[in-house]
Structure 1
Amino acid sequence: MSQVIHFISIGGSAMHNLALTLQQQGYTISGSDDEIYDPSRSRLQKHGLLPAEMGWFPEKIHSGLTAVIVGMNAHKENPELVKALELGLPIYSYPEFMYQQSQQKQRIVIAGSHGKTTITAMILHVLKFHNRNFDYLVGEQIDGFETMAKLTPDAPVIILEGDEYPSSPIDAQPKFLHYQPHIALISGIAWDHVNIYPTWDEYVDAFELLAEAMPKAGILIFDESDDMLDVIGQKERADITKIPYLPHPATTVEGKTILVTKKGARVPVQVFGQHNLKNIAGAMTVCDRIGITEEQFYEALPTFKPVAMRLEKVAEKGGRVLYRDFAHSPAKVEATTEAVKHQYTSRKVVAVVELSTFSSLNKAFLDQYEGTLDAADVGVVYFDENASDRNPEAISTTDVLNAFNKPGLHVFNKPEELQNFLIDQREAATVFLLMSSSQFGGLAMDALADKLL
């Protein structure tokens, strides 16, 4: 008899990918959501999993269901969740379900405030290049992979991108604590998500717990150059092997990053920046532990393309170049800006960051951005003029100027003003970097690229 699984909030990025991979394994899938956007929408539609109508329907919940998987976008009072609880059905968050399905596998978790998607994607790319059999969960659609999740009965290993967000509306535990990894990599810790972790200490505690929860004979891999991680890594933990890593040695030739191996060989790669050299070192350390030799790693890496929105080159024309990056937290903004300036030392770099997350629009958190745009020749901050309506502790232009503390900083809160300013910079600047986890008030990137370049 086929197993039947219902997804509450099937439109989420991880949720719909899990639904697709389970359908491929022969499960019968149903789901609900109150709104579903692309790419989730068209992908669910293509596989016959898009709900016929939006909304919550308790009648979809019945005793014939094998399990219910509930996403973070649902609320505790969700009528389908309430009914599933009443019927006593097995209810899982997706990290719990991934763990349930991978108890017989070697579990590898990639965690950290930054770099985890790129490190996970690098490992997946290398394993695929060498035709290894593996399952995975990654937080972004990546080149060469049809879905962001894969769960099969026979893969001996699973690579999981693990984040520190709560697991579900009825489970406040950070997602990565469910995975109980045999190997855990923590890429770096920089305070974020102040709506969930109001203090720096509470944020660090989550990662402490991840390190504490590892089973005996576990392996903890961490960025040695991150002060906070070094503290976690150096703590005495019986039966755990600790492996620190540092940025991979490299040189830059005509704007291209070339890795320099221990044997002196040179390996060209398509990513750049100090943070990516750390990501490479971390991915290589994990691969070494799961049977990929250094030679195999270096053979696969040159064909690895940057993950979408992770220092992604949007366009290049007539000596000008436009980059887009998902960076929004202070540590990411600083690392990305420095990477681009380091890559283009002799050119004028305009770096724009959008403040759109709960943390970045929070007055108490704003000071964390001090100095983060210092590497840019021209620093620009954009925040939506209506963002203040959603947040009683709303920030002002003066707050932003004081927090970033960068001479000549430009602050905008209307997208058309931002666009006009950037176009005015065309004659003087040749490198444009746009950093945001949002949309700059709806600026069309392709149209902007045409105007800038």
Structure 2
Amino acid sequence: MQRVHFIAIGGAAMHNLAIAICKKNNFQVTGSDDEIFEPSYSRLKEHGLLPEQMGWFPDRIHKGLHAVILGMHATEDNPELIRAKELGLKIYSLPEYLFQQTRSKTRIVVGGSHGKTTTTAIILFVQKQLRIDTDYMVGAQIDGFDNMVRLSYESRIAVFEGDEYLTSPIDPRPKFHLYKPHIAVLTGIAWDHINVFPTFEKYVEQFRKFVDLMEVQGRLVYFEDDKNLNEIAGNLRRDIVPFGYTTPKHEVRNGVTYLITKYGDVPLKIFGQHNLQNIEAARLACKQIGVTDEHFYSVISEFSGAAGRLQKVAETAASVAFVDFAHSPSKLRATVKAVRQQFPDKKLIACMELHTFSSLTDEFLPQYADSMAEADVAFVYYNPEVVEQKRLAEITPEQVKQAFGGDKLTVFTDAQALQAALREQQYDNTALLFMSSGNFSGINLTELAKELLSGK
């Protein structure tokens, strides 16, 4: 019996890994956390993994444990972590453990400042449709997959979304440096996480190192319209083979995007240039493991996207509403542009929340210049309490408005005032877009979108 204990089991990736492990034979999983929110709470309870008490309990750490997995929510002085070190137990971060469990498998890792989740989801969707057994870790729920992590004895392939953020409280390496892929995908580089990478040059260096850490005779799939990726691809180790891609040929007809291929025109359920690029990256990655273009195109029509990535949440005969994870400047521009191009005749109301550490700092705000310029109505919201909680310098609505630019933009610091302004808008022939990595201080975006579009 392999006994594994999770410190900070309630995290999005952590609880999914715990569920994946507990499904394996001969594994016993325990965990601790000081607070667990939905949906982690209900999912852990469903699988019998919810801690009986919230908090940290060093007596749960004993010599009978084969592994301790440390989540980012924990801190260096966590009492359970200290006890595990005292006992000399093997302590893994989440990416370390995933790598150890897939050492003998062909690893596909998708990195980049944007599009990671969707590209990973497309690869997994295609492999499932073609019945290719695959282990994986992806950053959002995908239709047809009951968990965000899978580890098995049988599969010979593992697909991971490669995050460039820190590995754990005691390991400052970017997560994706630990996966050592055989096949790597890089979707683009746009500065993020300035609390960790204070300059763009240091941020770019993490992607260069990611490629240097690839397995021997690796395959690099990269977006060739990105000048930084072109520079990296032009200075590879001699054993790594590069495959560049760009936006594939396509047409938009009556609100539906079609891929133009030699096998015929392929209608898609997703849209936008960034999603078309994600599809092309996934096609090339799948090709490296033997998936033919004909097979790829035969199933891609049914891919409907990953949860929270340009996800349609409400629709009427004349209007439509989407929720998207976009929060960084590059993601914001791509998402607003995608909706504008898909619905050129509709009024576009775009509403975004500044929520991450980077987005709430005065020195980073200018990166958002003109990122919502294509919207007819643009609302930006941030919660001053979140700024205080992150121990950042105060920013003002005037600073935010000046950084974004545009007379059509209004800044809110009160969620109720934002909702009131949204209710004052007319939603005939409208595309409504919510963008955030948070939830606008507790707003149920799906319910609000349905209310606004229905006029009730």
> Which TM class, normalised by the smaller chain length?
over 0.9
Native 8 Å contact 1:350 1:429 kept in 2 = no
Alignment of 1:196-211 (within 5 A): 196-211=196-211
Q: Structure 2: how far apart are the matches of 1:7 and 1:241? A: 38
Match of 1:104 in 2: 104
Distance 1:170 1:254, change over 3 A: same
How far residue 237 of structure 1 moved from its aligned partner, in angstroms, is 2.1
Q: Structure 2: how far apart are the matches of 1:427 and 1:142? A: 30
Q: Structure 2: how far apart are the matches of 1:89 and 1:107? A: 27
How far residue 428 of structure 1 moved from its aligned partner, in angstroms, is 6.5
Q: Structure 2: how far apart are the matches of 1:230 and 1:197? A: 21
Native 8 Å contact 2:318 2:429 kept in 1 = no
* 1:64 lines up with 2:51 in the alignment: no
Q: Structure 1: how far apart are the matches of 2:382 and 2:452? A: 21
Q: Structure 1: how far apart are the matches of 2:427 and 2:155? A: 54
Which 10-residue stretch deviates more, 386-395 or 341-350?
A: 386-395
Q: Which runs of 5+ in 2 are unaligned?
A: none
Q: Structure 1: how far apart are the matches of 2:340 and 2:5? A: 48
How far residue 445 of structure 1 moved from its aligned partner, in angstroms, is 2.0
Native 8 Å contact 2:313 2:450 kept in 1 = no
Q: Does the residue aligned with 1:360 lie in a helix, a strand or coil?
A: helix
Native 8 Å contact 2:382 2:412 kept in 1 = yes
Native 8 Å contact 2:76 2:169 kept in 1 = yes
Alignment of 1:339-418 (within 5 A): 339-390=338-389, 391-418=391-418
Alignment of 1:234-253 (within 5 A): 234-253=234-253
Q: Structure 1: how far apart are the matches of 2:153 and 2:36? A: 29
- Matched to 2:419, the amino acid is Q
Match of 1:228 in 2: 228
Q: Structure 2: how far apart are the matches of 1:427 and 1:25? A: 49
How far residue 427 of structure 1 moved from its aligned partner, in angstroms, is 5.2
Alignment of 1:112-127 (within 5 A): 112-127=112-127
The C-alpha deviation readout for 1:214-273, integer Å capped at 9, x for no partner, is 122011110011121111111142111011111121101100011111x16111111000
Q: Structure 2: how far apart are the matches of 1:52 and 1:264? A: 56
Match of 1:176 in 2: 176
How far residue 389 of structure 1 moved from its aligned partner, in angstroms, is 2.9
Q: Does the residue aligned with 2:82 lie in a helix, a strand or coil?
A: helix
Which 10-residue stretch deviates more, 439-448 or 92-101?
A: 439-448
Aligned alpha-carbon RMSD (Å): 1.2
Aligned length: 451
Q: Structure 1: how far apart are the matches of 2:204 and 2:431? A: 35
Q: Structure 1: how far apart are the matches of 2:184 and 2:148? A: 20
Distance 1:153 1:216, change over 3 A: same
Q: Does the residue aligned with 1:303 lie in a helix, a strand or coil?
A: coil
Distance 1:156 1:379, change over 3 A: same
Q: Structure 1: how far apart are the matches of 2:155 and 2:403? A: 49
Match of 1:317 in 2: 316
Distance 1:47 1:407, change over 3 A: same
Match of 2:23 in 1: 24
Distance 1:447 1:103, change over 3 A: closer
Identity in percent: 47
Native 8 Å contact 1:3 1:28 kept in 2 = yes
* 1:443 lines up with 2:443 in the alignment: yes
- Matched to 1:227, the amino acid is K
Q: Does the residue aligned with 2:6 lie in a helix, a strand or coil?
A: strand
Which 10-residue stretch deviates more, 415-424 or 54-63?
A: 415-424
The C-alpha deviation readout for 1:421-440, integer Å capped at 9, x for no partner, is 12222157611111111111
Alignment of 1:268-279 (within 5 A): 268-279=267-278
Q: Which runs of 5+ in 1 are unaligned?
A: none
* 1:159 lines up with 2:152 in the alignment: no
Q: Structure 2: how far apart are the matches of 1:440 and 1:296? A: 41
Q: Structure 2: how far apart are the matches of 1:433 and 1:269? A: 20
TM-score, length-scaled by structure 2: 0.97
Q: Structure 2: how far apart are the matches of 1:71 and 1:448? A: 33
Q: Structure 1: how far apart are the matches of 2:200 and 2:427? A: 42
The C-alpha deviation readout for 1:342-379, integer Å capped at 9, x for no partner, is 01112211111111111111000000000101111122
Match of 2:282 in 1: 283
Q: Structure 1: how far apart are the matches of 2:395 and 2:139? A: 30
Native 8 Å contact 2:96 2:178 kept in 1 = yes
The C-alpha deviation readout for 1:298-343, integer Å capped at 9, x for no partner, is 1111111111110111101141211111100000000000000001
Native 8 Å contact 1:257 1:268 kept in 2 = yes
Native 8 Å contact 2:102 2:158 kept in 1 = yes
Native 8 Å contact 2:136 2:149 kept in 1 = yes
